[in-house]
Amino acid sequence: MIFCLLVLLIYSDGDLAWGDDIEKATFAGGCFWCMEAPFEELNGVMDVVLGYTGGVSKDPTYEEVCSGRTGHYEAVRVKFDLSQISYSGLLNVFWRQIDPTDPLGQFVDKGSQYKTAIFYHDEKQKALAAKSKTELQNSGKFDDNIATEILEVSEFYKAEEYHQNYYKTCPIRYKSYKKGSGREDYIENTWGETNDDMPIKENARPLEEELKNKLTSIQYKVTQKNDTEPAFNNEYWNNKKKGIYVDIVSGEPLFISTDKFESGTGWPSFTKPLESENVVEKTDRGLFMVRTEVRSQKGDSHLGHVFNDGPSSTGLRYCINSAALKFIPKEDLEKEGYGKYLPFFSNPS
């Protein structure tokens, strides 16, 4: 019994239960204060820890790392759910927080501890990191070469507690530093985005080969090829359970059971989106007619269409393919990272 418990603790990395889709990613992007928020607010990210890695000494302190003698990088370790966000999605966010062409550090901070690096945890991460680096180099976005290194993961030491969640505990100093260091202006000028809590639009969309491996045949055809599943022969058309529906690709919240109604069409139908900014409407002129297509904002998944023949509450009918959705039951919202939607139900307990 003791042996089993020890094995569980060793493989759980401090958590009592890790699902098959739970993975870790490690990134160094200069001052780690500025690398926490962009990841922490993403759907599918469960935890972000600030720390030190890549050095030669054990249990280094902040002062020792800052001296440059230990060889450690300031880094963040991201725990994420692969069923909600891909590693490629995390890479997209990482590249947009840094100046990848600086070999000496980041912005006003120079030294080995402020250099950028991607620390891969397995061969798949290594390949995806190398591919994303090559794509960025070939994109023509930068005149200089990409200096960010791709290194095998090494021992990670958690930084002192006062560094954790610094953007929350010391927001004024954090914002002043991010602005004063030049990072904020660089991100705005390079990518047109500055908000820490605004996920990059492409953050949750995996690469094409990942999508083919992740999705079933019908899910891929519907979300990526704008196909339509059979009426009355799909997963959620008659689902009456309480919960929310999220994008099968990105995990972004789309609809809620309290807005679901029986339309008689054989597909899940809703009176309105749960989060209107997550649903994008586009004109669809296919099949010799003009309709309004709906797609997810971050995952860019084809969801279905919206029609003006819905219930009187909104007059709308969002006719959605089950294959584009993942249902999160009310009782699982908290553990799946969607706990903020519990109050939407009459009995959130």
d(CA 272, CA 258): 10
pLDDT over 70 (residue 204): no
Q: Which of the pair, 171 or 211, is modelled with greater confidence?
A: 171
Of the residues 4, 34, 66, 319, only one is catalytic, namely 319
Residue percentage of the chain with pLDDT more than 90: 65
Write down the pTM of the prediction: 0.55
pLDDT per residue over 290-302, tens digit each? Answer: 889 999 988 889 9
Of the residues 31, 34, 66, 170, only one is catalytic, namely 31
Provide the pLDDT confidence category of residue 11 given band limits of 50, 70 and 90: very low
**Domains of the chain and CATH, by start:** 9-206 (3.30.1060.10), 215-344 (2.170.150.20)
Structure tokens at 266: 């054989």
Helix runs in the chain, H state only: 2-12, 33-40, 62-66, 87-95, 123-138, 166-169, 171-180, 183-191, 208-214, 217-225
The residue among 106, 86, 43, 113 whose CA lies nearest residue 205 is: 86
Q: Which of 202-211, 238-247, 294-303 has the lowest mean pLDDT?
A: 202-211
**Catalytic residue flag (residue 66):** no
Q: Which of 13-17, 54-58, 230-234, 249-253 has the lowest mean pLDDT?
A: 13-17
pLDDT over 80 (residue 338): yes
Q: What is the DSSP string of 51-89?
A: EEES-SSSS--HHHHHTTSS-PEEEEEEEEETTTS-HHH
